[in-house]
């Protein structure tokens, strides 16, 4: 109900139409935020919400890239967001343009890509095992296990970054399948590594029972 005709009559209120209520609703919801927030933060939250709903597009590609960067950095509060925004502002114009272009490529590529086969004979790729601590939460436990890792330098150029991918639950290690790339779970990593000339490190996140051959049962070493 609304008191919109209160200056003409004291006999009750006028019911709003649906369109009138939808126009009134954002202000009402903003006022309700004052129950849990101070006026300043509540107003800023209102502006952010209305902007996200009303803007037909971001003001610039850099704005889109910055928002994507905030998401990738898991910056979900104002302090974390300020840190990412300040770091972005400190980049040179060329660096910002390069980063914006890379983030645009990742955002616009939506087709499914077939992950590359992992070729053990490729001189740019290293497929090895290392002794890894079995229980990182128990300082008294010194047991270790053989953790598989891959180093892929096919895109790497001196000065490029290092991207680490923790492999998820997949089946590239089954004996019936060819030895595929460890990072098959994340095509975005391949796109980004090619764009930024990165060195790829793939780390198996738990023991799957692959090489080196042992009599261990894989289920015993799953963490």
**pLDDT tens digits, one per residue of 200-219:** 877 776 655 544 444 445 55
Taking the alpha carbons at both ends of the chain, their separation in whole angstroms is 58
How many helices and strands in the chain, by DSSP H and E? 6, 4
Answer yes or no: are the C-beta atoms of 13 and 3 closer than 8 Å: yes
For the chain, residues with pLDDT lower than 50 are 108-120, 169-185, 210-216, 221, 223
Q: Where are the beta strands (DSSP E) in the chain?
A: 125-133, 144-152, 162-167, 199-204
Is the overall model pTM greater than 0.75, yes or no? Answer: no
Q: What is the pLDDT of residue 188?
A: 58
For the chain, the domains span 18-108, 125-221
> Can you give the pLDDT at residue 15?
66
Rounded to an integer, what distance in angstroms lies between the CA atom of residue 70 and that of residue 81?
7
Sign of CA dihedral 77, 81, 82, 83: positive
pLDDT at 110: 44
* Residue 24, pLDDT score: 77
The pLDDT of residue 182 is 47
Strands (E) in 113-214, as ranges, are 125-133, 144-152, 162-167, 199-204
Quick one: pLDDT at residue 212? 46
- Tens of pLDDT, residues 82-124: 888 888 888 888 888 888 777 766 554 444 444 444 444 556 6
Number of other residues whose CB lies within 10 A of the CB of residue 63? 13
| pLDDT of res. 176 | 45
Per-residue tokens: 149: 């890792």
* Residue 108 to residue 132: CA distance in whole angstroms: 38
């Amino acid at each position: 109900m609304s008191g919109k005709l209160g200056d003409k009559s004291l006999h009750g209120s006028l019911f709003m139409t649906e369109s009138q209520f939808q126009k009134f609703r954002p202000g009402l919801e903003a006022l309700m935020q004052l129950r849990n927030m101070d006026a300043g933060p509540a107003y800023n939250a209102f502006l952010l919400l209305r902007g996200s709903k009303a803007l037909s597009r971001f003001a610039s590609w850099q704005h889109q890239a910055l928002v994507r960067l905030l998401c990738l950095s898991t910056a979900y509060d104002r302090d974390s967001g300020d840190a990412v925004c300040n770091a972005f502002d400190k980049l040179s114009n060329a660096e910002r343009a390069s980063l914006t272009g890379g983030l645009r490529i990742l955002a616009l590529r939506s087709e499914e890509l077939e992950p590359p086969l992992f070729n053990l004979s490729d001189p740019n790729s290293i497929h090895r095992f290392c002794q890894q601590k079995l229980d990182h939460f128990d300082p008294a436990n010194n047991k270790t296990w053989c953790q598989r890792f891959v180093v892929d330098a096919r895109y790497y150029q001196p000065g490029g970054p290092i991207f680490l991918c923790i492999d998820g639950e997949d089946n590239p290690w089954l004996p019936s399948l060819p030895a595929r790339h460890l990072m098959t779970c994340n095509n975005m990593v391949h796109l980004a590594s090619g764009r930024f000339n990165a060195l790829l490190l793939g780390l198996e996140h738990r023991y799957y029972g692959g090489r080196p051959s042992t009599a261990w049962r894989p289920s015993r070493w799953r963490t």
